[in-house]
Amino acid sequence: MTKAPKKRVARSKKSPNRRKSRPALKSNLRLETTTRSGTKQARAIEMLRSKEGASLAALMEATGWQQHSVRGFLAGVVRKRLNLNLISEVDAGVRTYRIAGEPAAPPSKVQGVRTKSS
């Protein structure tokens, strides 16, 4: 006895599980639209925008986050999502972080091209 071939079911073009695309944010409105006032992130960004900057310990105390969470916030939110220019300096053995006035340049999508060597 042979198996009957599987029946194909036509899918509708509008899939209910398809994600809707998000509208692109303008770079100058990005900070205002993504950071609410009074949150831990807003408090940390305010500290980082000060002239002196903020140490890791100060950010941990202000937000209640652990050390690895503060570092993840600096790399993931401040640098990548908000695209801010984060500067790290060491003064008297204490590393301080601060946000420079201008946003960081957008990351280049073109990376080094590899060629086959013979």
**Based on the structure, what is the number of domains in the chain?**
1
Judge whether 88 and 97 are in contact, CB under 8 Å.
yes
* pLDDT score, position 92: 92
For residue 54, which phi and psi values (nearest 5 degrees)?
-145, 145
Residue 72 lies in a domain: yes
Parent domain of 95: 30-103
CATH code of the domain covering residue 60 = 1.10.10.10
Residue 21 lies in a domain: no
Sorting pLDDT into bands at 50, 70 and 90, what band is 7?
A: confident
Residue 11 lies in a domain: no
Please name the amino acid found at residue 88.
S
pLDDT tens readout for residues 78-97: 999 999 999 999 989 999 99
Contacts 24+ apart (CB under 8 A), 77-84: 77/41, 78/45, 78/48, 79/104, 81/34, 82/30, 82/31, 82/34, 82/35, 82/45, 83/27, 83/30, 84/31, 84/45
Residue 24 lies in a domain: no
Sorting pLDDT into bands at 50, 70 and 90, what band is 4?
A: confident
